[in-house]
Structure 1
């Protein structure tokens, strides 16, 4: 959790820097696209601060008030961040359309290109660093933070491409279109980037409502359980697996019948140990509950 907080603070510092530079630069040369980039970085900063606060709260041990832990907050934070980014994209999209309707706006191409090059390099480096660290930690919050920097890098790349196009057509017969390049880039970028927070929101919403974990994890645990069912001649077994943030909740019920071979509490614990050991390679914090009953109604 300490490493997670350090990464979030690093991300927040990067967000503050690019927010100030983007908004300041955008105002200076009157570029909506650069302003969009700066505002996105400012919102990313705000969201990073929220993530830092939530991570600290999750790290505090409070089993009395939160007997099942606080892992449910992880997908909630990601869902909130996704909603904010979706709203931002719609607002900037609307503003860009208004700019086109009112006649577009001219931009200083030279200053715009300098900003775009610096932003692509800077955001790209931060994204690569956050992504590599996020994969090692297996943290959904850090992965969401990494996705924000990927979006920021892509926005900056879009800015760079747009201003290169503007520079090319500036001295051609199509020069009259240059006043529309800036808002058109905002429209294209907003539409493209809606995909990331929308898909992210859908994924974490499934975790919040406890949809089953992905098929790979489900199938692997199912095979382990069915092997144990066959070994001890249980009548049936029911397995439920759901992922929430960085935790994996596994509920398993074995149903006895008259021919079941399990006879002692020690054997029950042996089965629990076996399941725990065979799922240790799954890179999530496990909440494992294995129950035994002779009446199937307690397992359904």
Structure 2
């Protein structure tokens, strides 16, 4: 999908810009917090490049090699992204604690504020754009990228707030505490940021092991199936739904009885078409199987 690739290219370009900006600015003024921000952007850049490669591979049409699709690659990629971010946040947390214990460090708060303003505005713009595109394309990879930019936006705003506090402290009798602000911000942001990759990793793992789809999706599909079951007077129905990346795997088994009003093959195909049409509101690629049986044992 060309649009998805373009969005990922934008994310990669943004990651490169803020990685260079953050690492360079952080090294110049010796700010661990700004270097953390730049390092996060650098890792986001590598992840974006990986996401582009994975997106190209998923979109490649090679049904003979992958008869059941390549949707599983998407949650695996998102899980890998989450693990990388978790490791980075964990190491930054430990380094922040080490620096704080060793006495902190003094930085030029004026230059630090200049960086945080540029970073906050830029990251907010990219995040909002990624979020909008992610919803429209129903792409978990883009959603993962969007989450990274959300974290980077929060990080940039936190940097700005922290350095404002540092400026205020510098004007009071507590000026000696300003040397601890940089390290303390690294510790706080690292601890807060760990939560998001953990949640994403858990969600991706559920998709990898073929767990059931979300309650919202299940409720919609079960309602559609139940209405058709009542309309054609089937004895029962069994529905299985799982979400794998951008794909929704759906298997529906309708169980006949003597009162069922469906007999001909053409009528069965009509039901399949009816099911498919009623699911168009669910913005995911669908792998749909609709089966009919007179014995419930073939449905469970």
Q: TM-score higher than 0.5 here?
A: yes
Q: Deviations over 1:229-285 (max 9, x none)?
A: 222222211001111111111100011223322211111101101101111111111
Partner residue, 1:3: 3
Partner residue, 2:195: 195
In the TM superposition, residue 64 of structure 1 has moved relative to its aligned partner by 1.1
Distance 2:229 2:74 in 1: 34
Partner residue, 1:95: 95
Pairs aligned (count) = 300
2:226 partner SS: helix
Partner residue, 1:73: 73
Q: Deviations over 1:78-134 (max 9, x none)?
A: 111111111100000000000011111111111111111111011111111111111
Moved more, 211-220 or 244-253: 211-220
Partner residue, 1:145: 145
Q: Deviations over 1:206-251 (max 9, x none)?
A: 2222221122221221122122222222221100111111111110
Partner residue, 2:209: 209
Pairing 1:248–2:269 present: no
Moved more, 25-34 or 227-236: 227-236
In the TM superposition, residue 11 of structure 1 has moved relative to its aligned partner by 0.7
Q: Deviations over 1:130-180 (max 9, x none)?
A: 111111112111111111111111111111111111111113111111111
Distance 2:225 2:126 in 1: 42
In the TM superposition, residue 32 of structure 1 has moved relative to its aligned partner by 0.3
Pairing 1:283–2:283 present: yes
1:249 partner SS: strand
Supply the RMSD in Å over aligned alpha carbons. Answer: 1.1
2:291 partner SS: strand
Partner residue, 2:26: 26
Distance 2:260 2:122 in 1: 63
Partner residue, 1:57: 57
TM-score by length of 1: 0.97
Distance 1:137 1:183 in 2: 39
| 1:197-276 equivalent positions in 2, closer than 5 A | 197-276=197-276
Following superposition, which runs of at least 4 residues in structure 1 exceed 4 angstroms of deviation? none
Distance 2:133 2:230 in 1: 41
Distance 1:100 1:16 in 2: 29
Partner residue, 2:163: 163
Moved more, 120-129 or 27-36: 120-129
Flag structure 1 segments of 5+ consecutive residues without an equivalent.
none
Distance 2:260 2:283 in 1: 33
Distance 1:219 1:55 in 2: 29
Moved more, 213-222 or 45-54: 213-222
Distance 2:90 2:49 in 1: 23
Flag structure 2 segments of 5+ consecutive residues without an equivalent.
none
Distance 1:260 1:234 in 2: 5
